[in-house]
Copies of this chain bind each other. A is one copy, B any other.
Amino acid sequence: MLSHKLPKIWYGGDYNPEQWDDPHVWSEDIRMFKLAGIDVATLNVFSWALNQPDEETYNFDHLDATINRLYENGIYTCLATSTGAHPAWMAKKYPDVLRVDYHGRKRKFGGRHNSCPNSPTYRKFSALMAEKLAERYKDHPAVIMWHVSNEYGGYCYCERCEAAFREWLKRRYGTLENVNRAWNTRFWGHTFYDWDEIVAPNELSEEWAGNRTNFQGISLDYRRFQSDSLLECYKLEYDAIKKHTPHIPVTTNLMGTYPELDYFAWAKHLDVVSWDNYPALDTPFSYTAMVHDLMRGLKSGQPFMLMEQTPSQQNWQPYNSLKRPGVMRLWSYQAVARGADTVMFFQLRRSIGACEKFHGAVIEHVGHEHTRVFREVAELGGELKQLGDRILDARVEAKVAIVFDWENRWAISLSSGPTIALDYVKEVHKYYDALFKQNIQVDMIGVDEPLDKYDIVIAPVLYMVKPGYAAKLEAFVERGGTFVTTFFSGIVDERDIVRTGGYPGELRRMLGIWAEEIDALFPDRRNRIVMTKPHGALEGEYECGLLCDLIHLEGAEAIAVYGDDFYAGMPVVTVNRFGAGQAWYVASSPDAAFLEGFLGKLCADKNIRPLVRKAPEGVESSRRVKDGRGVLFLLNHNADMKEVELHEGRYRDLLSGETVEGRTAVPGRGVRLLEEA
């Protein structure tokens, strides 16, 4: 449980009262928070400059007053450390805090995410600020969560980072010879004879266009290094806080599939995962579901915090549509259904100046409660009160896992060839979506996660196979597990060095195939998957594209072959019996119809039951289990009411209290929380 002080789904969000020097506004805030059922506020996110007006002075009067005022009104504090943007005086006095950007330019003061993660000044002052806050509020009863910095991200390419990169490399590789080998520097005569010859890979050296590079190894290591550098900043604050408040959990708000940080590495150092959910206008809801599952997977299924979402509209999308009536509530329950124990907003009151003033808020510019947005917020607040601790700490149980790995993603994104169209996250989502549509509960896991608890493990585009991972997968399959991977897998090791001897490298034995060539298709071209063996409901032909591995069977059996081109008749989907299990290879990127049938059959073979007997398109389901009793969430993303056929047994609707059996209707954009009887 996040805190025994607040044994319910937390409800609140980012609150920046320092932007109004007006007691009337503050008391209105309190009044309206109460109306809305808000019980937690994230404070101090961007108050560094306010709290520390110069190097010597710290002044927390404003923060004291806010924490107290809220606490006196029953509202707890999620206390941020304010280090997400350094003060202007610091940039002026200590320019080492300023980043050098990808284009090689030393930045000036401005924006946020603006600190060099290897700046001694930044590290010193940010840790000191965290410590000051921890000392000051360690006994304050209001503080129930620490929120370090804000949405960490952004790389730096300054000379200090370069120097730190060399030290990082020494720790990782020991000798320069190992570095040269890891990066294959004899290619293009890049051999380094002195550590100081190594520079940061950006537009001035090896990279261009964000993810194009001459040396995948260098660029990959720089991403690891920057992710580690930012993590180190976090850890310095974490340690400073823990010294004083060992029992209050510490988090920092993540950003879902944000590409720059290896969140699995980060999650090890978070007491609880929290994240900010801002679906883009065209984000499929199954994508949002996948990201919730991924955030839950970061700490092996531990419930997480929905730290931010907008009550209505965003400001930084090209076209910022309003969330339609009901949608905020629906998406809030989607988070809860998949493991969130908080529902929090950015922001509680809309700012009146600068770039987020057109971002939605609980309290809008009009300033009163008679708005659609506020009414919806208050309605949800009432429901969350009603739910109490019923769902809190409940776990999601899945027999199917999908592997997600940031380092593999980096390597794929940095690859020169075979196609720029390969998007790792998109390929992962295709597999997720096929299961989602069939109401199969899925865990999103990292490569460190044990596999024993799963019946099926899917690792789309497992291009990079890290040391020991092939053996781990083999053991899983030998013990009876079903493993699925795809084209362009098993190609390189953790250095992005090719495993020679035939693709898919270390996975070849288990998969029983050899991929001789990899054909890249134009965006408007497709090949066909022609079924040659029965596999559940699959029959006839399906489409595939993107990449086509030209594979040979080496013990595996084909269930389908290519229908076109000079490799027509070669296998496209294969299965290898390996020990007690099966290892599947999907040699191209199939259409959704194939994937649904394909994965549906694998689940059926493993007796993995969908969460409901039958649900119409657009109705999402998920299930959380607490003390052995499940709560089934039904989320209707359609605008009109839909009927769902339930499995046998009786349910109780946690919101309406009514008893449900057999089938149930879910209103348009509505939800059902059905407790198993």
Contacts and interface: CB of A to CB of B under 8 A. Distances in A.
A325 B568 CA distance: 13
Contacts of A627: none
A18 B191 CA distance: 11
Contact of A417 (B89, B197, B315): B315
Contact of A46 (B54, B187, B325): B187
A601 to B, nearest CB: 31
A295 B593 CA distance: 51
A415 interface: yes
B516 A366 contact: yes
A352 B319 contact: no
Contact of A191 (B49, B319, B366, B518): B49
A205 B359 contact: no
A167 interface: no
Given A82-B189, A420-B319, A522-B319, A197 B92 contact: yes
Interface string A418-438: 111100000000000000000
Given A109-B199, A214-B354, A418-B320, A193 B53 contact: yes
A311 B313 CA distance: 50
B416 A88 contact: no
A150 B258 CA distance: 39
Interface string A195-206: 011111101111
Interface stretch (A447-455, A493-501, A572-580, A610-618): A493-501
A46 B46 CA distance: 51
Contacts of A171: none
Contact of A107 (B205, B281, B356, B503): B205
B417 A313 contact: yes
Nearest to A505: B365
Interface stretch (A248-256, A367-375, A472-480, A582-590): A367-375
B503 A356 contact: no
Interface in A95-113: 103-112
A112 B355 contact: no
A600 interface: no
A520 B321 contact: yes
Interface in A105-136: 105-112
Contact of A193 (B54, B354, B419, B566): B54
Given A354-B215, A358-B416, A18 B315 contact: no
B18 A186 contact: yes
A322 interface: yes
Query: In the assembly, how many copies of this chain are there?
Result: 3
Interface in A269-302: 281
A104 B318 CA distance: 26
A519 interface: yes
A314 interface: yes
Contact of A354 (B53, B188, B313, B320): B188
Contacts of A88: 190-193, 197-198
B186 A16 contact: yes
A622 interface: no
A309 interface: no
A562 interface: no
Interface string A631-666: 000000000000000000000000000000000000
A520 B319 contact: yes
Contacts of A185: 49, 354
Contacts of A420: 318-319
Contacts of A352: 184, 497-498, 500
A183 interface: yes
Interface string A51-67: 00110000000000000
A227 interface: no
A566 to B, nearest CB: 5
Interface string A516-556: 11111111000000000000000000000000000000000
Nearest to A415: B358
A36 to B, nearest CB: 17
A199 B104 contact: no
A353 interface: yes
A482 interface: no
A408 interface: no
A76 interface: no
A111 B281 CA distance: 39
A325 B566 contact: yes
Contacts of A516: 364, 366, 371-372
A548 to B, nearest CB: 9
A416 B351 CA distance: 13
A91 interface: yes
Contacts of A502: 365-367
A325 B519 CA distance: 12
Contacts of A112: 188, 214
14 contacts: A18-B186, A19-B186, A49-B190, A49-B191, A92-B196, A105-B204, A107-B205, A108-B204, A109-B197, A183-B353, A184-B352, A313-B418, A322-B517, A365-B500
Given A47-B189, A321-B520, 20 more contacts: A46-B187, A49-B185, A50-B189, A87-B189, A88-B197, A92-B197, A110-B205, A184-B352, A187-B355, A187-B356, A215-B355, A216-B355, A314-B417, A318-B421, A319-B418, A319-B520, A322-B518, A324-B566, A357-B416, A365-B501
- Nearest 6 pairs between A and B by C-beta? A184-B353, A110-B205, A315-B417, A358-B417, A88-B197, A49-B191
